């Protein structure tokens, strides 16, 4: 049986009902999720994020909601910051970051979480480009008889676009260093996430040093966004594997639409 990995920027749970249904129905062994919210003692199910005239509704406790919907998975939350969101005019402190869910039949035998840009901010979201982190796990596939290392990242968002910058070069190198801390030898490796870079980015040069190649661009896919995203370019999300990974299926999922990003689905041996 193949090991199934899904990477998805969940957009703060804005499309909550179809998102939750998809996360259950897709039956992934490992879910690598970006833009996940968690709010202690939230007064409402929905809160509002406000930034420079932009207002975006988001689920108050998306992490806990997903964990409850996936009781057979171990849940890990890696926040980047705690800042204010709003319940009407009332300010509420909320956390925002990455979440990783691993089916309990796949033991986590190593892991590391760390910042690839900036540091954790406990008292506000911080200036742009805001802090970003990555989470790397090493699991064992009992049926296949092998370990596999899986890392995901939410790349920094630069107001000037997705082109390479010194910060993005540092981010890529920091991600590689985090992976090297967890991975053993030349075992199977999968790296994924919303990188917020273009296909020609130096990010892929850095990851190439680990023997990784991207499944999105190498297989001719040109769109990792859904109809909820109306700008160009339409690359943001990537999934890379080493040659030791046997790709059974790879799909930037067009339907259902559960975010402004497509889910990236990989079945491997």
Asked whether residue 1 carries a pLDDT value surpassing 90, the answer given is: no
Tokens matching residue 174:
């920091």
The C-alpha atoms of residue 194 and residue 112 are separated, in whole angstroms, by 18
In eight-state DSSP terms, residue 156 is: P
Bridge partners of 101, per DSSP, are: 31, 75
For residue range 78-91, list pLDDT tens digits in order.
999 999 999 999 99
Beta-carbon contacts of 145 under 8 Å, excluding residues fewer than 6 positions away, are: none
> Cα–Cα distances in Å, from 88 out to 43, 63, 84, 150?
11, 22, 12, 39
**Cβ atoms of residues 135 and 111 within 8 Å:** yes
The answer to whether the predicted template modeling score (pTM) of the entire model surpasses 0.85 is yes
- Coil/strand/helix, residue 166: helix
| Residue 66 pLDDT | 98
| Residue 108 pLDDT | 98
In 3D space, the residue among 55, 57, 54, 115 whose CA is nearest the CA of residue 81 turns out to be 115
| Residue 138 pLDDT | 98
Tokens matching residue 186:
């030349």
| Residue 52 pLDDT | 78
CATH level 3 topology of 3-268: Deoxyribonuclease I; Chain A (3.60.10)
| Residue 262 pLDDT | 98
**Cβ atoms of residues 212 and 192 within 8 Å:** no
| Residue 51 pLDDT | 86
């Amino acid at each position: 049986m193949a090991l199934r990995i899904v990477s998805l920027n969940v957009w703060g749970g804005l499309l909550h009902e179809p998102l939750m249904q998809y996360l259950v129905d897709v039956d992934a062994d490992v879910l690598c999720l970006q833009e996940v919210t968690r709010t202690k003692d939230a007064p409402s199910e929905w809160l509002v994020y406000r930034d420079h005239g932009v207002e975006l509704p988001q689920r108050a406790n998306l992490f806990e909601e997903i964990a409850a919907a996936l009781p057979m998975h171990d849940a890990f939350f890696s926040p980047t910051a705690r800042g204010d969101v709003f319940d009407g005019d009332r300010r509420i402190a909320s956390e925002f970051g990455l979440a990783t869910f691993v089916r309990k039949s796949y033991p986590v035998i190593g892991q590391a979480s760390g910042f690839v840009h900036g540091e954790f901010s406990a008292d506000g979201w911080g200036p742009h480009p805001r802090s970003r982190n990555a989470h790397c796990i090493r699991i064992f596939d009992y049926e296949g008889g092998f370990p596999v290392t899986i890392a995901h990242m939410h790349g920094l968002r630069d107001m000037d676009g997705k082109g390479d910058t010194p910060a993005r070069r540092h981010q890529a190198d920091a991600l590689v260093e985090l992976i090297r801390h967890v991975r053993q030898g030349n075992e199977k490796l999968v790296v994924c996430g919303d990188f917020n870079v273009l296909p020609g980015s130096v990010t892929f040069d850095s990851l190439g040093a680990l023997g990784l190649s991207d499944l999105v661009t190498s297989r001719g896919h040109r769109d990792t966004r859904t109809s909820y995203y109306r700008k160009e370019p339409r690359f943001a999300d990537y999934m890379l594997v080493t040659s030791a990974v046997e790709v059974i299926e790879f799909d930037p999922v067009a339907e259902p639409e559960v975010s402004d990003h497509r889910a990236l689905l990989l079945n491997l041996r």
